[in-house]
Amino acid sequence: MTFLPNFKSKRILVTGAGGFIGSHLVEALLGLSAEVRAFVHYNSRSDWGFLEELPPLAKSSIEVISADLRDFHAVKQATNGVEIVFHLGASIGIPYSLAYPNDVVETNVMGTLNILKASLDNSVVRVVHTSTSEVYGTAQYTPIDEKHPLSPQSPYAASKIAADKLAESFFRAYGLPVSILRPFNTFGPRQSLRAIIPTVISQLLGTGKVVIGSLEPRRDFTFVSDTVKGFILLAGKGGVEGETFNLGTQKDISIKELILLTSQIIGVTPEIEIDQRRIRGQQSEVWRLISDNSKAAEILGWAPSYRLEDGLKSTVEWIREKKQFGKPGIYNI
């Protein structure tokens, strides 16, 4: 049994709080009686993203700041008075980064620089910076440990490497107590249709026809509750400043196998159609990602609790409940 750290009354900032993982992290922190400040991307609708999914009592207990990570003044205000910063805010779509690299680089690199500098200025006790398995590129050896070469195959991956290296530099140059978490393909309820699993589920529930890109890439899918547990364990662990930790299941599955497994769970026979627009170039496609999670297991006491099948069932139930979730008929980048 994993014992979570005591975060009662801890003042905590979560950036990207309205996103998929961020909203789950906020919910978990509230469950640990933390005082949560949520940084969400500003929009004129006062829409807090997936924080809107939280129960009314939980929402009312959150301090929400709507702004932009690229605005240092806003970020410095947001980090003022907090003890722990979970930095999840980012522009995350790989196809989007291929189309609009400027936006992705500005958000992910300058946004992270602002978080690091503001955290230093405000004497934040711990910063947990979010990386991605995409920084490794196609596996040069498996399973992929934290010493695997970094090989970006998209502007998104390059922007995250830059952000990771900024975090490392702030630890070495200024002594900022920052650690890096590198999840492998998190999935679960609240994930948008820009990701493969909700796309497949929505299409299967809708028409039974899956319009997809490459079927051969293999991924290590981690259920969101396990990823959130990793964030919390890392934030509560001493002596890991400047360190990077992979989070993954050490099991991978091809996209074709994933479609067939999901179809079996839903109870349909899929029709699969290849859409050339969704196929990344040969040099851009990451063909295999599978984690070595031994460092997180040994130092943080982290281990995945959810089987892929169980996580898929939970995700199917959530998307089925939403009925008209997203726009499954278009290519969401």
Active-site residue, from 96, 136, 156, 306: 156
Q: How far apart are CA 333 and CA 328, in angstroms?
A: 12
Nearest 5°: phi and psi at 136?
Answer: -80, -25
* Active-site annotation holds for 306: no
Q: What is the DSSP string of 42-111?
A: --TT---GGGGGS-HHHHHT-EEEEE-TT-HHHHHHHHTT-SEEEE------HHHHHH-HHHHHIIIIIH
**Cα 227 versus chain centre, distance:** 8
What are the CA-CA distances from residue 218 to residues 79, 158, 251 (Å)? 38, 21, 10
The closest of 259, 164, 183 to 224, measured between CA atoms, is 183
Provide the annotated active-site residues.
156
